[in-house]
Amino acid sequence: MGDGSAVGPVRIGNCSGFYGDRHAAMREMVTGGELDYVTGDYLAELTMLILARDRAKSPDRGYAKTFLTQLEESLGTALERGVKIVANAGGLNPAGLASAVRALAERLGLDVDVAHVEGDDLIDRASELGFGTPLSANAYLGAWGIADCLTAGAHVVVTGRVTDASVIVGPAAAHFGWTRTDYDALAGAVAAGHVIECGTQATGGNFAFFTEIPRGADGFRPGFPIAEIEADGSSVITKHPGTGGLVSVDTVTAQLLYEIGGERYANPDVTLRVDSLTLGDDGPDRVRITDARGEAPPPTLKVSLNAIGGFRNAMTFVLTGLDIDAKADLVRLQLEAGLTVKPAELEWTLARTDHPDADTEEAASALLRCVVRDPDPKNVGRHFSSAAVELALASYPGFTTTAPPGDGQVYGEFTPGYVDAAEVPHVAVHADGTRTAIPIASETKVLTPVDPCPLPEPLPAGRTRRVPLGIVAGARSGDKGGNANVGVWVRTDDAWRWLAHVLTSDKLRELLPETSELPVTRHLLPNLRAVNFVIEGILGKGVAHQARFDPQAKGLGEWLRSRHLDIPEELLPPEGELE
């Protein structure tokens, strides 16, 4: 352990979970209470594609421009209060963003040391490394470049593609003087970073039991989260006093389960054993995370690869009233026969949103969606949507569509890659222009599956009621390239004894028929009373491919919670209190 054991906790608040998050959040975090650092995560897989297209138009672009307007409101106050700022808003051009921040500071009359981290961008070597010719290729760097910049005195550090948790781990490592092999402390910081990096998802946003979140005078406006990280890596998750939302064991559990895989959560600096974590109530809006165990990181770095997949177009038909399936069959037959140019891909989806004997027309209607894709924009252009509209007076009764004809739009494809860490430069570029090469980890450990933990003793057989799973279980789901994860947790030990035995991979496939033919892997996390499922291939080639109407799988967990199971009555609230 470094020499930071006598240092008090470091308070790190995160003000952004994605490019486009609440603009006022940085100002709210800087002015709302005591902090040492404000961090921001701006980079999702889809964001990298957007920034790559932006950079293709001009080499001066490629970073999150809203970061600058947020800084304009907050930089002066942050300097006055001694708050440093770390963000991955540099995207594909961290040097360009660092220069823009310096220009902003000069215009504001502020003396600011601005540093940046680079080396993640592998686009010029993509072919050499076996990645073909993508539009962007970025390795996920770790936290040590950030830590080096902060130790050298930077007030603002911007990076390119680092892991989401790294913007939190770097400040903690700099604050405490951790070494590269302080694995348990680093793992604890990764856990804290993973909880707060998605902003208000840790404070009641996107929360399964959202009806339990207090509502304030301004409605439902969760505050952004703070991690108070200790020298041993343990932490307390909280938020500024007086802000909305809720920090509870449940909200923190939900975020810990977000977009993870198995029991091992790999980062470039350490692999966190998620199954080691213990959560505890530390008072109102305070949850303590302890017992993190860390292992040496893997020898490879993940690489985010984005490419232009082709062009897509879509039309949605509204089918109302009787004979929905027959109406759908008719328009499918007519449109496919009427296309003079056949696209490479043509997909139909019928959403049975209609209700029998409905008291509104909208409630009586279903939606039939046709999506076409092709490498050539001409094959999915206006002729496709015009062919659909030309059926208006010659097809099913009540023909209508949700939008007029339009041109095809470009779509992207995400592919994860892996590269030996030694192939990736990791460079801290300081305010004075000096450059520090960050060495790779001296010790690594190849990721291997964890031996399955024993199942808890099953609940004795008893009376059950057939009700939605969500009566007793929360869930959070998300995307990882073409895969999705669904984490499910319960609140009591008895509920865990039931869940661990009942919610198997086969049961998930039964409850979610879209997964019936897909590989599904289940991971048990007893300390969290949770199971996590990884569903391979359900999202096609990533969010930009839009293979599903919910391309990031954000609603997958809520679909699962809505499915009915036979649940023991002893786990249920009284019948009159069921949702």
pLDDT tens for each residue of 481-499:
899 999 999 999 999 999 9
pLDDT band at 293 (very low <50, low <70, confident <90, very high): very high
Half-sphere exposure of residue 257, counting CA atoms within 13 Å on the CB side? 35
Number of domains in the chain: 3
Q: Based on the domain organization, do 407 and 495 belong to the same domain?
A: no
- Say whether 73 sits in a helix, a strand or coil: helix
Do 200 and 183 lie in a common domain? yes
Whether pLDDT at 537 is above 80: yes
Tell me what pLDDT residue 417 has. 96
In a domain, 1, yes or no: no
- Would you place residue 547 in the very low, low, confident or very high pLDDT band (cuts 50, 70, 90)? confident
For 509, other C-beta atoms within 10 Å of its C-beta total 17
**Residue 3 above 70 pLDDT?**
no
pLDDT tens digit string along 198-236? 999 999 999 999 999 998 777 789 999 999 999 999 999
The Cα 313–Cα 373 span in angstroms is 7
Q: What is the pLDDT of residues 429-485, one digit of tens each?
A: 999 999 999 999 999 999 999 998 999 999 999 999 999 999 999 999 999 889 999
Encoded tokens for 174: 């700099």
The answer to whether 42 touches 19, Cβ cutoff 8 Å, is yes
Give one word for 119, left, alpha or beta, with left for phi > 0 and alpha for psi -120 to 50: left
Q: Are 229 and 12 in contact (CB under 8 A)?
A: yes
Residue with tokens 């490629």: 62
Phi, psi of 511 (to 5 degrees): -75, -30
Residue 457 lies in a domain: no
Q: What whole-number distance in Å separates Cα of residue 123 and Cα of residue 131?
A: 9
Whether 175 is in a domain gets the answer yes
Look at residue 2 and tell me if it is in a domain: no
Checking if the pLDDT of 45 tops 90, the result is: no
Q: Are residues 199 and 271 in the same domain?
A: yes
Indicate if 408 and 425 belong to the same structural domain: no
Query: Residue 371's domain is classified under what CATH number?
Result: 3.30.70.380
Residues 340, 421, single domain; the answer is no
54 with 201, same domain: the answer is yes
- In this prediction, residue 40 carries a pLDDT of 98
Per-residue pLDDT, averaged over 369-392, amounts to 94
Residues 37, 328: Cα–Cα separation, whole Å: 55
Q: CA 483 → CA 195, 265, 536, distances in Å? A: 21, 16, 4
Report the SS3 class of residue 17: coil
Identify whether the C-beta of residue 347 lies closer than 8 Å to the C-beta of residue 307: no
Does residue 453 belong to any structural domain of this protein?
no
> pLDDT at residue 531 above 90?
yes
The residue-averaged pLDDT of 570-578 equals 79
Other Cβ atoms closer than 10 A to 266: 21
Among residues 345, 380, 413, the one where a domain terminates is 413
Q: Are residues 396 and 520 in the same domain?
A: no
Which is nearest to 272 in space by CA: 195, 193, 198, 190? 190
**If pLDDT is split at 50, 70 and 90, which confidence band does 545 have?**
confident
Closest among 129, 127, 103 to 114, alpha carbons compared:
103
User: pLDDT of 138-180, one tens digit each?
Assistant: 999 999 999 999 999 999 999 999 999 999 999 999 999 999 9
How much is the pLDDT for 574? 84
Of 398, 413, 428, which residue is a domain's last?
Answer: 413
Q: With helix as H, strand as E and coil as C, how does 112-131 read?
A: CCEEEEECCECHHHCCCCCC
Query: Does residue 5 have a pLDDT over 60?
Result: no
Q: What does DSSP assign to residue 443?
A: S
Provide DSSP, 139-171. Answer: E-B-SHHHHHHHHTT-SEEEESSB-TTHHHHHH
Q: Which of 12-21, 269-278, 410-419 has the lowest mean pLDDT?
A: 410-419
pLDDT in tens, 85-116: 999 999 999 999 999 999 999 999 999 999 99
456 is a domain residue: no
Identify which of 535, 415, 538, 545 has the alpha carbon closest to the alpha carbon of residue 481.
415
State whether 227 and 332 are in the same domain: no
Domain that holds residue 243: 8-304+416-437
Q: What's the pLDDT score for residue 576?
A: 58
* % the chain with pLDDT above 90: 89
Q: In what order do the strands lie in the sheet with 520-525?
A: 473-480, 483-490, 530-535, 520-525
Please tell me the predicted confidence (pLDDT) of residue 448.
93
Q: Are residues 230 and 294 in the same domain?
A: yes
pLDDT tens-digit map of 256-281: 999 999 999 999 999 999 999 999 99
Tally of CA atoms within 13 A in the half-sphere of 327 that contains its CB: 21
Kindly tell me the burial class for residue 402, based on how many C-beta atoms sit within 10 Å of its own C-beta (0-12, 13-18, 19 or more): exposed
At residue 1, the pLDDT reads: 60
- The answer to whether residue 328 sits within a structural domain is yes
What confidence tens digit (pLDDT) does each residue in 497-518 have? 999 999 999 999 999 999 999 9
Give the residue among 156, 157, 168, 160 at the shortest CA–CA distance from 14: 168
- Are 281 and 323 members of one domain? no
CB 535 within 8 A of CB 486: yes
Q: Is the pLDDT of residue 390 over 60?
A: yes
Please provide residue 367's backbone torsions phi and psi, each rounded to the nearest 5 degrees.
Answer: -120, 125
Same domain, 358 and 427: no
Residue 81, pLDDT > 60, answer yes
Domain shared by 229 and 374, yes or no:
no
User: Is residue 401 over pLDDT 60?
Assistant: yes
**Per-residue confidence at 526, pLDDT binned at 50, 70, 90?**
very high
Using an 8 Å Cβ cutoff, are 257 and 43 in contact?
no
